[in-house]
Chain A
Amino acid sequence: QKEVEQNSGPLSVPEGAIASLNCTYSDRGSQSFFWYRQYSGKSPELIMFIYSNGDKEDGRFTAQLNKASQYVSLLIRDSQPSDSATYLCAVILIQGAQKLVFGQGTRLTINP
Chain B
Amino acid sequence: DGGITQSPKYLFRKEGQNVTLSCEQNLNHDAMYWYRQDPGQGLRLIYYSQIVNDFQKGDIAEGYSVSREKKESFPLTVTSAQKNPTAFYLCASSIVTGNTGELFFGEGSRLTVL
Query: Which of A12-20, A43-51, A73-81 interfaces with chain B?
Result: A43-51
Could you tell me the distance between the alpha carbons of A88 and B44 in the complex, rounded to whole angstroms?
12
In the assembled complex, A65 has its CB within 8 A of some CB on chain B: no
Residues of B within 8 A of A42 (CB): 107-108
The contact string, 1 if C-beta is below 8 Å from chain B, for chain A 16-39, is: 000000000000000011100000
- Contacting pair A90 B101 (CB below 8 A): yes
Residues of A within 8 A of B90 (CB): 43-44
Interface residues contributed by chain A, number (CB under 8 Å)? 23
In the assembled complex, A102 has its CB within 8 A of some CB on chain B: yes
- Contacting pair B105 A104 (CB below 8 A): no
In the assembled complex, A60 has its CB within 8 A of some CB on chain B: no
**Which residue from A4, A98, A99 sits with its C-beta under 8 Å from B45?**
A99
Interface residues of B in 59-73 (CB under 8 A from A): 59
In the assembled complex, B2 has its CB within 8 A of some CB on chain A: no
- Contacting pair A104 B40 (CB below 8 A): yes
Could you tell me the distance between the alpha carbons of A102 and B100 in the complex, rounded to whole angstroms?
12
Residue of B nearest to A6 (CB): B42
Which residues of B approach A to under 8 Å, CB–CB? 40-45, 59, 90, 99-108
